[in-house]
Homo-oligomer: A and B are copies of this chain.
Amino acid sequence: MADQRLLSTQQVSEHKTPQDCWIVVDKQVWDVTDFLDEHPGGSTIILKYAGRDATKAYSEVHAPSVLKTNLQPGKFKGVIDESTIDTTWIKPPPDENPRAILDNEKPPLQTLVNAHDFEVVASKTANTKTWAFYSSAATDLITRDANKSCFDRIWFRPRVLRNVRSVDTRTKILGGDFKLPLFVSPAAMAKLIHTDGECAIARACESKGILQGISNNSSYTMDELRTAAPSASFFFQLYVNRDREKSAALLRQCSANPNIKAIFVTVDAAWPGKREADERVKADESLSVPMAPSKAQNDKKGGGLGRVMGRFIDPGLTWEDLKWVRQHTHKPVCLKGVMSADDALLAMQAGMDGILVSNHGGRNLDTSPPSIITLLEMQKRCPEVFDKMEVYVDSGIRRGTDILKAVCLGATAVGMGRSMLFATNYGQQGVEHLVDIMQDELETAMRNIGITSLDQASPDLLHTGDVDHLVPASRAHPYAQAIAKGRRGSKL
């Protein structure tokens, strides 16, 4: 090779355009200008090394002989003069990564790949009060965190060699047809994070074919949402007002709105929970909502929106009041916020159309049982419930695997609240992107445990041994029998 022409790094560097492109591989210099368009991997990757040493990148994907085989001999220009190699030459090529995202700037929607990403972005870009109100939960956050971690402690028992070419996630909820066993849980004041608020969610649910729950404390009225998404399906989440007539008026609106498919009466917020992060940030006192007499206010306890916006809710609500609700609507009535098998049974006996097992995302009473544990309790203690009414679950759902686990344990569908608010940070497109992600994760999980439709889901596909000790075995406390006489009550 003594007759090979020596080329300095300086000389090679000058041929660095698409019109004149040399690269170095294994010390040999090649003119690849004409090859750019033929390269199966595209020209971009080659141009990255135009006028540079491409040995490392090349050898990661090609056999040594590929270049020589594909180029004509005339394209060989010589060998690099190693004495001319300097620090400039060995500097790696500029990276094609996009510019850094500032910490308080929303990254491009497409770069968010899961529900956690939406939460992280909201924590950095929503204003302090909005983040505090959305993310907070009761006191020490034990239930909020256990809602998720208990899902993570339930293991799949995946089956293999089943034909999973096509998978079907369609779900019937309260008689309606939906594309997923997933709905948007009702959550208050979506406008805080995006001017379109619940309207953005409604348009996304309409386009994606899923059900949306409208909060009693929504930033937009149910009629505005219907206008925004004329073919969408909703349910309305009712906080029963101390002034019953106000609630009756809302029920009349529901009856008149054909998009409202059912009423969900909230029962897990008899009294506002203590959400300390929310209390610690002052509320904007000009804030109000259109379907409730709620007005933001700061007081001695702090600025907790979750507390002051719920002052109208009647803590005196009982099973009897459900009859009153029935009298004011012909639509299906469900309970939101069941936290025990006992109340699931009572709901069934009260003729409810469905129940949403929920602890309000851990926002109301800390150390309330994680929702998936309550679902297990129902499977253990009152499985007949699942035959008589539909059962939904929310609180802690972040992954397609979470959805699938709830469905395996008998849920008809699951709700996501906070995550949907965080997705609303990007408006309608954000919510659509999150729904797409959840669908993809659910389908992936279904295929990888070996099922193709949701009616194949069953408890057999799970192992719950790591959480079974958290599930009450019977109504009575294990020691309750022994202490019948020993109870505090007997002394007062």
- Please list the residues of chain A having a beta carbon within 8 angstroms of any beta carbon in chain B: 39-42, 44-46, 57, 59-62, 96-97, 110-111, 113-114, 139-140, 142, 152, 154-165, 172, 191-192, 195, 267-268, 270-274, 276, 279-280, 282, 284-288, 295-296, 300-302, 314-319, 321-322, 335, 337-340, 342-343, 346, 359, 364-369, 373, 376, 379-380, 383-387, 390, 399, 401, 407, 410-412, 440-441, 443-445, 447-450, 454-460, 462-466, 468-472, 475-480, 482-483, 485-492
A485-B384 CB under 8 A given contacts A157-B340, A284-B41, A286-B45: yes
The answer to whether A319 touches B161, judged by C-beta atoms less than 8 angstroms apart, is yes
The answer to whether B160 touches A273, judged by C-beta atoms less than 8 angstroms apart, is no
The answer to whether B472 touches A61, judged by C-beta atoms less than 8 angstroms apart, is no
Question: Roughly how many angstroms separate A55 CA and B467 CA in the complex, as a whole number?
Answer: 49
- Least CB distance from A6 to B in Å reads 25
Which residue of the partner chain, among B385, B457, B482, contacts A489 with CB atoms under 8 Å? B457
Question: Roughly how many angstroms separate A140 CA and B280 CA in the complex, as a whole number?
Answer: 32
The answer to whether A156 touches B367, judged by C-beta atoms less than 8 angstroms apart, is yes
The answer to whether B60 touches A155, judged by C-beta atoms less than 8 angstroms apart, is no
- Least CB distance from A73 to B in Å reads 23
- One complex includes copies of this chain to the number of 4
The answer to whether B410 touches A163, judged by C-beta atoms less than 8 angstroms apart, is no
A-B contact pairs, 22 of them (CB 8 A): A41-B287, A60-B191, A97-B282, A155-B369, A156-B368, A159-B343, A160-B335, A163-B317, A270-B448, A274-B440, A301-B440, A315-B447, A365-B444, A379-B483, A386-B487, A386-B490, A407-B488, A410-B487, A459-B483, A459-B487, A463-B477, A466-B469
The answer to whether A488 touches B454, judged by C-beta atoms less than 8 angstroms apart, is yes
The answer to whether B154 touches A367, judged by C-beta atoms less than 8 angstroms apart, is yes
The answer to whether A444 touches B317, judged by C-beta atoms less than 8 angstroms apart, is no
A365-B482 CB under 8 A given contacts A61-B191, A155-B470, A466-B470: no
**Among the interface residues A276, A284, A479, which one has the most CB atoms of the partner chain B within 10 A?**
A479
Contact partners of A280 in chain B: CB under 8 A: 111, 113
The answer to whether A113 touches B279, judged by C-beta atoms less than 8 angstroms apart, is yes
